[in-house]
Structure 1
Amino acid sequence: MSKKKNNNIFSDNKKPIRFGINWVFVLMLAVFIYIFFSNRNASNNKDVNWSEFQQLTQQNSFSKMIVNLHDNKVTAKIKKEKIASILGTDAFPRSYLFCSTEGTVSTTVPSTEFANFYKETASRYTIDATVEYNEGHNLLWYLLGNLLPVLFFACIWVFIMKRMSGGGGGIFNVVKNKAQVYDKSSPNSKKITFRDVAGLSEAKQEVEEIVDFLKNSNKYTGLGAKIPKGVLLVGPPGTGKTLLAKAVAGEADVPFFSISGSDFVEMFVGVGASRVRDLFHQAKEKYPCIIFIDEIDAVGRARGKNPIMGTNDERENTLNQLLTEMDGFGSNSGVIVLAATNRVDILDKALLRAGRFDRQINVELPELNDRKEIFAVHLQDIKTDSSVNMDFLARQSPGFSGADIANVCNEAALIAARNGKESVQKEDFTNAIDRIIGGLEKRSKVTTVEERKTIALHEAGHASLSWMLEYANPLVKVTIVPRGKALGAAWYMPEERQITTYQQLQDELCATLGGRAAEELFLKKISTGAANDLERITKQAYAMVVYYGMSELLPNLNYYDATGQDWGFHKPYSDDTARMIDKEVQRIVEEQYKRAKTILTEYSKQHQQLTDILLEREVIYADDLEQVFGKRKWLSRSQEILEKQNALDQKNCS
């Protein structure tokens, strides 16, 4: 058995304590606390003339006298019982409440014969005060005592300002860019290539030309071609835009400057433009190289979009400087700017024109084959058994980004480990997908018998219609276990279509309305459980009429502006047309609702049988529907995959 490395936190390998900015604040707090509580000897002094001082001395009012021979000044410490009579009852403010206070009296001796006066007075009166003679202030110690606190706080202030400005260059170092540079000499810089990027086959083909130019620039410049100055990666979050940019730098083997768009904009005026100039200056010194600006919409937002509320002048100045640097006034030979955003619609048009960002590369959500590759990459380090099928997982996760797939694989491993399994199984992956889409199971949520029956009837209505309709997505499983905010849920294996026909949209609407139709048919009442279904079918019906032109009264018309610039805040149709749109939407929904009730009425016995199974088991699968309704008439590609997976599961079980 191999020995494992001891990772005990109490081992002798202690990490050294690093001095950070937090220690400075702790030190400053300690100094202020010391100054506050060191006022224990806070005194309230009263200046008196020599005759009054003599009278107080004769009355034995002092406990100690200090004589300064340098300026003939005497300071006497008053006894506690005499403070009120000499200084008054309100001599000390509330700020000295927690301090031990004392009172003093000061006077100036008219001559240096204080010793004779004290000797004569002590012989005639009862005096127990001690006398102390002081030669005067030492000039050096006096200066140190007054200047050291000022110097101390000045040093702390300078140190803080240096840390705030990035260190080393004073407060003016704030204009330096914050880009991280990755190259051969960079420690801990991991080289990423296209082999590390799964999927994105079309996007990788687009950027391979950039890599080829950086490696073999003479092949292009010899023919008079110019390097594209900018490449914009556009796509939803989590699709791998940043990873693709790093792979470009790794393949080209050139320095890679990485910075976020928000790092340019600061509260100081002119800082953003200065950072842009400094970034391009460093890049030109290390050409050929790549500058990657992530989330460029933070600095590249369209100018003058909100003239009423005013605009951010600092952000616009930064954008103007970026446009100038990319415009070619200076030689940017060998410097390529890569940028990524998921909000290309709000970018300034001047930033997107030819000569700046010459080309846009769409990094879309991965399709079926791409998802297979992404699953293959993330499953390399996960121990799985023979029940895990890449094709099934890829079809079970439509619309998932690369980051979502990575999360599914990690969540499946956590679920398997939580259940004490030796390997991750297909069930763990389906549970992980359910966990991500629907939320955590809430078996402890209290539901009445009537509520469970309503939920089972509702979900069985969805399942029945999805099985009987030709273009409805094939069912994977249905559950009445509460998950997230939903009291029940059904999972389908949708077909990945590039276009959708009118008949397919109708079947999807009918299947979605199956839950509400089942409630009205078999319970003779409806509930709020169909709220999410109604929201979805309303949006889809309006899209059919307004966007797709699928209407009998308003055929072949589209009232949607994809650019978001032409129609603004007004509707592109009249009030009469709006009423026609509403009527058409109501007609489409009502037709499919009646269709759903007709189908459920025809198969009412099978629906009731499915409801009973769901109430008993809480979860049903496609096999249960096949036993109740018989084999599905229309087999899609997804249904074939599902049947093959079920056959494989049965074989593994046997």
Structure 2
Amino acid sequence: MANDKKKIKEKKPKFSPYWIYGIVLAIFLGFQLFSSGSYQDGGTITPAEFFKYAEDDDIDKVEIINRRIAQVYLTKDAEAKEIHRKSKPKTFIPSATKLPNYTFEIGDLQNFENDLKSIGKYDILSLNTKENVWGDFLIGILPFILLIGVWIFIMRRMSGGAGGGAGGQIFNIGKSKAKLFDQNTEVKTSFKDVAGLEGAKEEVQEIVDFLKFPEKYTTLGGKIPKGALLVGPPGTGKTLLAKAVAGEAKVPFFSLSGSDFVEMFVGVGASRVRDLFKQAKEKSPSIIFIDEIDAIGRARGKNAMSGSNDERENTLNQLLTEMDGFGTNTNVIVLAATNRADILDKALMRAGRFDRQIFVDLPDVRERKEIFEVHLRPLKKAKGLDLDFLSKQTPGFSGADIANVCNEAALIAARNGKKAVDKQDFLDAVDRIIGGLEKKNKIITPSEKRAVAFHEAGHAVTSWMLEHAAPLVKVTIVPRGRSLGAAWYLPEERLIVRPEQMLDEMCAALGGRAAEKVIFDKISTGALSDLEKVTKQARAMVTVYGLSDKIGNLTYYDSSGQSEYGFTKPYSEETAELIDKEISAIIEKQYQRAIKLLEANKDKLTELAEVLLEKEVIFKDNLEKIFGKRPFEKESSAEIKKEENTEEEEEEE
């Protein structure tokens, strides 16, 4: 019943001041209408008829209005005559004065007077001048009404009122564009929808708790933190966490993007920051969420070409002042998200502004399983679907990638006319996302197809024979996206990587080109992606991780991200030459190692390539038939309980 009443209220038209304007205008028009023509004349006659009636003594008087119109009034006896029966005026509004029976135009007044004198009836003539006050008033004021109406219309459009469109909000340009979520706004996302991210979720939940029950923390002398920065790779759930906060917190939540502060006008960004915090303080306790804060939070003074008045820097300065300045209100907490924390200004990152940096990393195998459970809820799944298998088949996938996998799997199942989404649909979805769309109709010559088969078989053989290489899942020579073939692996999820592990992976990556060399004694351009991957790994070994004996325990990696603004290398030309030689030596050594490995297993390589040419797709079982059980099988790291490591996590290239 309450909802019905609410709907009825919503359907009722809202009062508008324009109603008053309309009523007043209608009154004016009514007065004009009824004052000038509040009756219907009995009839219009000709001057000849008038003079005939005058000679018959039927005319009581004739009144000349404004020297042009003659209004004829009959005597009482004449009104009773049959000929004048229809002359009685019909009034809309009762009138106290007598109204004319006939009207006609007289032409020239002097001639009319002379004609009346000639018949001896000049005494019935009277002259009168009438003014239409309301009509003259409306005609005089109408231009001003039009000007005022046009002015109001333009001002309403410029101020972002009804109509909007181009030029809108010209006077509200300094106002904040933040979207407000409060108790009256229904936000469906909650912490139940955020799978994995236990540490980050706990920190964010605590921030909500700060605002709900501040006395719990302040009684011990603690202060509520000013802000929290969510940092992590794209798609890991930073904005999703903020949505959950908006859904869970029973306090006003202001959400906007960093780019919402940016405008072509000088001073607008700083003005919007001031207005945002003003609104937040008025509704405190409250939360402000700024997504992609790197749009305005980039380190200052790095771009010398921007000129003396950098609008972005002014916006950042205002944000710094609002977060921790003289007029700061402690009941406003700022949440921000970015995947480029290395380029943010140091003043923004200090304690007192963003007191907490919450790292939202890529999910591990256990967290991926939880994320799959969330995204599989709306899907019609096949019975017995193994979530552990799916989580192991998606290493390095972010939460957004997993959501995409689930959606693609549902689309593939629907395309194939299935009633439920099964395991094969998910595998096809993973292949589709990683490798691209299958192109079975792509024109490829038999010699090219044979070269691709041996190339992919070379990858499979080298990875199978090397201890630290990632175990193979499947190999295909069906073209996908821009590639003519692909090999899928299940990499071990390591927190630290040792040199022998990197070298084995490089050797396996070079197995494709090595197979072409061993079989055909020729190489091709098909190894481009392999060479790119290997070169990056070798460069990282030498210049980032200090894993080269000739370079030593040195790194030229700058985690602060400031090196991108420099114009010089952090090493000499001699060192640059040494680095280049060392990178080349590492890659060449692994290439020769792959060639030796494949020459020793040339017959098995050929056998595997023939199977691949026949079936186009081969799996781990096909390799086991040819090579036997892989000698380096071990328990997957996904099944080993993850222990705490006190060493700093190293970045894996």
TM-score relative to the length of structure 2: 0.73
> Which whole-Å CA distance do the structure 2 matches of 1:166 and 1:361 have between them?
43
1:167 CA displacement = 6.5
In structure 2, the CA distance between the partners of 1:383 and 1:374, relative to structure 1 (3 Å rule), is: same
Q: Do the aligned partners of 2:365 and 2:638 also contact (CA within 8 Å) in 1?
A: no
Q: Deviations over 1:291-314 (max 9, x none)?
A: 111111112222221123426632
Match of 1:92 in 2: none
In structure 2, the CA distance between the partners of 1:506 and 1:244, relative to structure 1 (3 Å rule), is: same
Q: Name whichever of 202-211 and 489-498 sits farther off.
A: 202-211
Match of 2:177 in 1: 178
Q: Deviations over 1:509-536 (max 9, x none)?
A: 1100000000011011111101111111
1:275 pairs with 2:272: yes
Match of 1:621 in 2: 619
Match of 2:81 in 1: none
Counting only pairs closer than 5 Å after superposition, residues 164-313 of structure 1 correspond to structure 2 as 171-186=170-185, 189-310=186-307, 313=310
> Which whole-Å CA distance do the structure 2 matches of 1:615 and 1:499 have between them?
38
Q: Which has the larger radius of gyration?
A: 2
Match of 1:489 in 2: 486
> Which whole-Å CA distance do the structure 2 matches of 1:298 and 1:534 have between them?
35
Counterpart of 2:417 in 1: which secondary structure?
Answer: coil
1:603 CA displacement = 1.1
RMSD (Å), alpha carbons = 2.7
In structure 2, the CA distance between the partners of 1:569 and 1:150, relative to structure 1 (3 Å rule), is: same
In structure 2, the CA distance between the partners of 1:517 and 1:279, relative to structure 1 (3 Å rule), is: same
Match of 1:57 in 2: none
1:143 CA displacement = 7.8
Q: Number of residues paired by the alignment?
A: 504
Q: Which amino acid aligns with 1:594?
A: Q
Q: Which amino acid aligns with 2:447?
A: E
1:338 pairs with 2:344: no
Counting only pairs closer than 5 Å after superposition, residues 92-131 of structure 1 correspond to structure 2 as none
TM-score relative to the length of structure 1: 0.73
Q: Which amino acid aligns with 1:213?
A: F
Counterpart of 1:308 in 2: which secondary structure?
Answer: helix
Match of 1:413 in 2: 410
**Alignment gaps of 5+ in structure 1:** 1-15, 17-111, 113-137, 642-654
In structure 2, the CA distance between the partners of 1:171 and 1:564, relative to structure 1 (3 Å rule), is: closer
Q: Do the aligned partners of 1:304 and 1:311 also contact (CA within 8 Å) in 2?
A: no
Runs in 1 of length 4+ with deviation above 4 angstroms?
A: 138-156, 164-170, 638-641
Counting only pairs closer than 5 Å after superposition, residues 483-522 of structure 1 correspond to structure 2 as 483-522=480-519
Identity within the alignment, % = 63
Match of 1:456 among 446, 453, 467: 453
1:170 CA displacement = 6.8
> Which whole-Å CA distance do the structure 1 matches of 2:555 and 2:328 have between them?
46
> Which whole-Å CA distance do the structure 1 matches of 2:478 and 2:487 have between them?
11
In structure 2, the CA distance between the partners of 1:639 and 1:514, relative to structure 1 (3 Å rule), is: farther
Q: Which amino acid aligns with 1:582?
A: D
1:555 CA displacement = 2.3
Counterpart of 1:420 in 2: which secondary structure?
Answer: coil
Counterpart of 1:494 in 2: which secondary structure?
Answer: coil
1:218 CA displacement = 1.2
> Which whole-Å CA distance do the structure 1 matches of 2:240 and 2:505 have between them?
36
In structure 2, the CA distance between the partners of 1:537 and 1:164, relative to structure 1 (3 Å rule), is: farther
Q: Do the aligned partners of 1:479 and 1:620 also contact (CA within 8 Å) in 2?
A: yes
1:219 CA displacement = 2.4
1:588 pairs with 2:586: yes
Match of 1:578 among 554, 576, 583: 576
In structure 2, the CA distance between the partners of 1:170 and 1:603, relative to structure 1 (3 Å rule), is: closer
1:488 CA displacement = 0.4
> Which whole-Å CA distance do the structure 1 matches of 2:408 and 2:239 have between them?
23
1:350 pairs with 2:347: yes
> Which whole-Å CA distance do the structure 1 matches of 2:614 and 2:419 have between them?
30
Match of 2:467 among 467, 470, 479: 470
Counting only pairs closer than 5 Å after superposition, residues 507-546 of structure 1 correspond to structure 2 as 507-546=504-543
Q: Deviations over 1:497-554 (max 9, x none)?
A: 0001111111101100000000011011111101111111111111111112222222
In structure 2, the CA distance between the partners of 1:524 and 1:387, relative to structure 1 (3 Å rule), is: farther
Counterpart of 2:160 in 1: which secondary structure?
Answer: helix
Q: Do the aligned partners of 1:165 and 1:173 also contact (CA within 8 Å) in 2?
A: no
Q: Which amino acid aligns with 2:379?
A: I
1:160 CA displacement = 3.3
Match of 2:321 in 1: 324
Q: Do the aligned partners of 1:256 and 1:289 also contact (CA within 8 Å) in 2?
A: yes
> Which whole-Å CA distance do the structure 1 matches of 2:348 and 2:637 have between them?
47
Q: Which amino acid aligns with 2:624?
A: E
Match of 1:3 in 2: none
Q: Do the aligned partners of 1:439 and 1:483 also contact (CA within 8 Å) in 2?
A: yes
Q: Name whichever of 249-258 and 624-633 sits farther off.
A: 249-258
1:147 CA displacement = 8.1
Q: Do the aligned partners of 1:518 and 1:600 also contact (CA within 8 Å) in 2?
A: yes
In structure 2, the CA distance between the partners of 1:150 and 1:215, relative to structure 1 (3 Å rule), is: closer
Match of 1:395 in 2: 392
**Alignment gaps of 5+ in structure 2:** 1-10, 12-107, 109-134, 640-653
Match of 2:604 in 1: 606
Counterpart of 1:174 in 2: which secondary structure?
Answer: coil
Q: Do the aligned partners of 2:438 and 2:480 also contact (CA within 8 Å) in 1?
A: yes
Q: Deviations over 1:381-428 (max 9, x none)?
A: 112224632112112111111111101000000000000111111111
In structure 2, the CA distance between the partners of 1:145 and 1:325, relative to structure 1 (3 Å rule), is: closer
Q: Which amino acid aligns with 2:286?
A: C
Q: Do the aligned partners of 2:176 and 2:273 also contact (CA within 8 Å) in 1?
A: yes
> Which whole-Å CA distance do the structure 2 matches of 1:635 and 1:312 have between them?
62
Match of 1:648 in 2: none
1:459 CA displacement = 0.3
Q: Do the aligned partners of 1:235 and 1:363 also contact (CA within 8 Å) in 2?
A: yes
> Which whole-Å CA distance do the structure 1 matches of 2:608 and 2:570 have between them?
47
In structure 2, the CA distance between the partners of 1:331 and 1:591, relative to structure 1 (3 Å rule), is: closer
> Which whole-Å CA distance do the structure 2 matches of 1:611 and 1:144 have between them?
94
In structure 2, the CA distance between the partners of 1:482 and 1:639, relative to structure 1 (3 Å rule), is: farther
> Which whole-Å CA distance do the structure 2 matches of 1:388 and 1:253 have between them?
38
Q: Do the aligned partners of 2:406 and 2:426 also contact (CA within 8 Å) in 1?
A: yes
